Structure formats: C-alpha cells, structure tokens
Amino acid sequence: MKKGLINKAILEELFNTYYNSLYYYAYSFLNDTEISKDIVNDVFEYIWVKRNTIDISYSIKSLLYSMVKNKAINHIRHQEVKKKHHHFEISKSEIAEDDYQEHDVLMKKLMQAIEELPPKAGLVFKMCFIENLSYKEIAAELGVSVNTVKTHITKSLKRLREDFKHELVLFFFSAENK
Amino acid sequence: MQKNYNHEQIEEVIQVLNDPKNRLLSFMTKYDDNKEMLDLYDELRNFKEAHLNLIQKDRPNLPLQWQKLNYKIGNSHKKKISWMIAASVILLISLTFVLQFETLFSPQQLVVDNSPIEKGEAKAILITSSGKVVELDENKDWVLKEKQGVKIVGDTKNLIHYNKDPISKDKSAKMAYNTLKIPRFAEYQIVLSDGTKVWLNSETELKYPIQFEGKQRVVELIGEAYFDVEKDASKPFFVKTKGIETRVLGTEFNVSAYPNEELNITLLEGKVQLAGKALSHKLILKPGENANRKRGATEMLVSEVDVKKITAWRDGYLYFEKERLEDILIKLQRWYDFKVFFQNPVVKDYEFRMRADKASDFNEIVNRLEATGRIQVDIKAKAVLISDVKR
C-alpha cells in the first residue's frame, strides 16, 4: 500500500479499485442496491474529509471494509429501532477493525468455486441467493420437489465450504507467520 | 464451524439474507451468543457476496458515482482546471489543423503517420517451473496450477498472487522457480508465497521460487522493483542484482538495476545490508538513504534522498530530479512508444526537473519540456527529434 496521506489522485485510485467490491459487500448485508451505493459513497466521503488524519500506509483496505460493514449494520439497526422502539447496544466485535487483507483472495476463490458448480445446482443456488426465491418458488419454477431443491442447496454449500475451509486454514497460517 | 448443515438453520439464514431489513436484527439478537449460527450467517453471506461479484449484479455506474462524490466533496478547483484543459485541447486542435492545412497544400507532400504517440500495449510473460511461457492476459482473471500444490492467481489489475493448497499431495522437494518478465509500457504487482509484495516497473525481470524452502528467501532482479518484504527473522530475504546482494529483514525498499544504467538501492523502512562480489565491503542503509553506483563505477555511494521521488513510479508518476535529458528519455521510452533522435548531441546533457502523471499524454510531457525554452521537440510519427533552441 502507498505511504503517506490521501490526495485526489489516490482517492480516485482507491475509488476505482474498491468501489465495486465494497458495494457488493454492503449489498450482501442489505440486499438493497441504492442504500449500498449510498453507504459506499459515504465511506469515501468520510476518508476524504479525514484525509489529513488517515495514514494510508496503515491498511486502508481494512478501514474501508470495516466502515462499510459497520454502516450497513447500523443502517438496519436504525430502521429496526425506529420500527420497534427497541434499544440495542452495539457490540464491540462489530466496531473492531477486522483484517480484510485476504478478502479479495477469498472472494476470487469463492467466485471460481461458484462458477464450477454443476449447472443445475448453480441455477438453484442463484435463484435462492440472488433472486431471493423461496424453496417452494424454486421447486415450482423448475418443476421439481422442494426436497430436490433442498438437496441441491445442501450439496452446493458443502462443495463451497470445502473451498472456504482451505481459505480459512490459509488465512490462519499466514496470520501466525506474521 | 459446525460440521454439518441442517436444513432448518440454512433456510433461516437464507431468509435473513433475503430480507435483512426485517430479519437481520432479530436474528442477531436471537443468536447473540450462538456462535454457530452467527458463523453460518457469515459463511452464507460470503457466498452471496461472491455470487454478486461473480455476476456483477446491478453493477453501479462508476464514473457517475465518482462524479457524485466529487460534487459532494466540492470540486470547484478541479472544474476550473478541466476547463483550462478543454481550452488548451481546443487550441491544440486548431494548431494541428493549421499545421495539417499547411502540409496539405505544400508542394512536396510527405506521407506521415500523424497518429499521436501512445502508451503502448504490452503483455507480461510468466515462465513457469516447467519452462512453459505464458502470456498474461490483462483482460481477464486467470488461475495457473504449479508444482507443490501452488496456484497462481492473476487478475485484471495486473496483480499476481501465489496460493498454496495446504492439503496438496505433491511434495516434490526441489525448489521450483518462476520468472516474470514485464515488457515496455507495462507494470505488474506480485505477491510472493511468503506475502512479500513486489511492484515491478517496465522492462523488468524477476526470478523467484514458487515457495521459499530452506533458510533463505532469494529472488533475482533485472530492472526496477519496489519490495515490501514480509517479516520473517528466521528466513532473511535477499535480492540479487548486478553483483550486489541486498539482505533484508522485513522492510520496504526500491531497487533500480537496469542494464547499462546506474544502480540505485533506496531504503524506505527497516534495514538492509548490501554485500556481494561487486562491493569491497558491506554497506548498511538506513531509512531514507540511497546507495548509488554510476555507470562504469565500482564503488557505491550512500546519500540521503527524498524517497518519495524514488518511488514515484509506483504511485503512478514519472519523476525526474535534475536528470540528464538522455536519461529522462530512456525512462520515458519505457512508458511511451517512440524513438528519439538528437539534432545536437549537446542537449543530451541538459538537466531537467519534472514530475508527470503516467496517465498524461506524451504531448503534454513534450510541451512541458519545450516550455523550459531550452529545447525544441518535433514529432513525426513515432520519431521524436530534439534540437537545441540556441542553435
């Protein structure tokens, strides 16, 4: 990562490098495109406003991801609070800055694994996770039983978990080495 | 991580992912101290995130979002500049038109390729341990399988990673090497198997093992690279170049070692020691120091430098601090596609100071050199003719 403070050129580079990934990160929490964009924009605005106090040699990547996560969860929290008049405490683990250095590597691996799913399983997976259809709706659309849909999902998740596990092992391994 | 998936739990988490507004918070409250369920949520959320990335669902319009952000953070200054650029572009266009108009009607008309000098297209080359030569396609993500269960992962941002599959059965103990060759006009970034990051400048070659075995980490460099070495006190890192070995213990430094050019090793952070056949005694660099060996010289001289200037190339800038014109042009040729001719050899030794964005047009750089009033630059197709203004 680069040294020193953020200028406009660096901001633009960070924007071009991370915008999409951050957007999909927010999207995976919120399932909402507009709020996801707003949150990512807010985060970039924040680092610009604070540009003189943020040293980007300290992982800016982790900072960006952590802020997106916190903002996404806070957004939902505020909505829920308005609705139910509940009081919630922010747990520490949500504020703590996680390490996102390996995040893109993990995503890349998972993307590849998803791509390699058998066609039918991949389709069911997409209908379920991306198109937000229920098991019942998927079964009806594909003309199969709900149980078949369940089996597809379980099998896909098992396969993905295999890859995911390796990634975790790798991650801990590298963390120990530091 | 729990061992097996349970249908009910999966379904519950999927419902949360699909309707977070109404379900996420109650889910988190309900399972506040149930790590298993929270982990399952995070795992499935990761799958969803990866899938969204994969199909680039509802992909935002980046230029538009950038514009929005600029509007928000206030940008009157930049607007003015872009108007100035627009104005100068118009001026340039009209000038070109006048010039072309002249050539059009001049009696001896030459056929000249008037296309502007561009930043060339170039593909990096990876030579695998088996000697296979792979042209790296910068337009798509790719994965290559290497020996010892190592996977090479590349992406469209000219970045390469080395990942090892921990359960690989390939235990071939022999060191396997890869060589990455960066041609003119290109740049690459690589993360070695130990996590060391290396930024490679144009016309650079790096040879490294796909995994660091034994008690040392050794790479070989021709050209220029910036190293951010992963700390590992038990395994010192060596960069071999031009008869000099740079020994490292977790640090950041820049090495510029092009054939037929001076050698520069600059330390930004940490500590490095220089040794090797080409040196009579060992040298230790402190942060901010640069060791320089002139062309044809035998000794290395250490001096303090502004490291920002040395590493400007990595941040996307071309930086010249009172450098000879000939040297500047050699460096520019790594980035722009042209051939240079000197009308008066004396101009080769003229010294210039310049900082330019690598994204800028070649014309812009030429204009700035000419603006010094010392040289005149004429461009015909890919030939650049430089003459002394005084003669």
CA B331 to chain centre: 15
Residue A120 near chain B (CB below 8 Å): no
**B-proximal residues of A, 7-36, CB under 8 Å:** 8-10, 12-13, 15-17, 19-21, 23-25, 27-33
Query: How confident is the model over A144-155, as pLDDT tens digits?
Result: 999 999 999 988
Phi, psi of B279 (to 5 degrees): -120, 135
Q: Where are the alpha helices (DSSP H) in A96-145?
A: 103-115, 119-129, 135-142
- What are A167-174's contacts with CB under 8 Å, separation 24+? A167/A102, A167/A105, A167/A106, A167/A109, A167/A110, A168/B1, A169/B166, A170/A102, A170/B163, A170/B164, A170/B166, A171/A102, A171/A106, A173/B166, A174/A102, A174/B195
Chain B residue closest in CA terms to A91: B32
Model pLDDT, residue B68: 77
Model pLDDT, residue B70: 81
Model pLDDT, residue B85: 43
Contact B166, A169 (CB under 8 A): yes
CB contact under 8 A, A20 and B165: no
pLDDT per residue as tens, chain B (391 positions) = 445 668 889 999 999 999 998 899 899 989 988 888 888 898 899 999 999 999 998 888 888 788 778 877 875 344 434 444 444 444 444 333 333 333 333 333 333 445 566 665 557 889 988 888 888 877 778 888 888 888 888 877 778 888 877 666 665 657 889 999 988 878 888 889 888 889 888 889 999 999 888 888 999 999 899 898 888 878 889 999 877 888 887 678 888 888 878 888 998 888 888 888 777 788 888 888 999 888 878 788 899 888 877 888 877 788 887 888 998 898 888 888 888 888 888 888 888 888 888 777 888 888 888 888 888 888 887 888 888 887 6
In angstroms, what separates the C-alpha of B294 from chain A's closest C-alpha?
28
ipTM: 0.85
Model pLDDT, residue B80: 39
In angstroms, what separates the C-alpha of B246 from chain A's closest C-alpha?
21
Q: Pseudo-torsion of CA B6, B8, B13, B17, nearest 10°?
A: 130
Contact B183, B203 (CB under 8 A): yes
Q: Pseudo-torsion of CA B321, B324, B327, B328, nearest 10°?
A: 50
In angstroms, what separates the C-alpha of B17 from chain A's closest C-alpha?
7
Q: Residue B26 and residue B138: Cα distance in Å, rounded? A: 45
Contacts of B157 in chain A (CB under 8 A): 17
What's the mean pLDDT in A14-43? 93
Nearest-CB residue to B69 (from A45, A135, A173) = A45
Question: What band does A26 get if pLDDT is binned at 50, 70 and 90?
Answer: very high
Model pLDDT, residue B143: 84
Model pLDDT, residue B167: 67
Model pLDDT, residue B106: 37
In angstroms, what separates the C-alpha of A6 from chain B's closest C-alpha?
12
Nearest-CB residue to A129 (from B51, B143, B357) = B51
Nearest-CB residue to A114 (from B25, B54, B357) = B54
What's the mean pLDDT in A113-132? 91
In angstroms, what separates the C-alpha of A173 from chain B's closest C-alpha?
10
Q: Residue A29 and residue B16: Cα distance in Å, rounded? A: 9
Size of interface A-B (CB pairs under 8 A): 160
Query: Does residue A97 surpass a pLDDT of 80?
Result: no
- With 0.80 as the threshold, say if the pTM is over it: no
CB contact under 8 A, A157 and B5: yes
Q: Residue A62 and residue A1: Cα distance in Å, rounded? A: 12
Crossing angle of helices A103-115/A119-129, nearest 10°? 130
Q: Please count the other Cβ atoms lying within 10 Å of the Cβ belonging to residue B157.
A: 12
Query: How confident is the model over A50-73, as pLDDT tens digits?
Result: 887 776 656 788 889 989 999 999
Model pLDDT, residue B362: 86
Q: Residue A164 and residue A162: Cα distance in Å, rounded? A: 5
Nearest-CB residue to B10 (from A24, A28, A157) = A157
Q: Give me the amino acid identity at B265.
A: I
Q: Where are the alpha helices (DSSP H) in chain B?
A: 7-18, 20-30, 35-55, 62-72, 76-105, 307-310, 325-332, 362-371
Residue A172 near chain B (CB below 8 Å): no
**B-proximal residues of A, 48-77, CB under 8 Å:** 48-49, 73, 76-77
Residue A41 near chain B (CB below 8 Å): yes
In angstroms, what separates the C-alpha of A108 from chain B's closest C-alpha?
7
Nearest-CB residue to B20 (from A15, A76, A109) = A76
Pick from B116, B137, B117, B134: nearest CA to B125:
B134
Residue A161 near chain B (CB below 8 Å): yes
Pick from B44, B39, B53: nearest CA to B16:
B44
CB contact under 8 A, A45 and B167: no
Q: Residue B25 and residue B207: Cα distance in Å, rounded? A: 51
Give the bridge partners for B320, in sequence order.
Answer: B354
CB contact under 8 A, A76 and B1: no
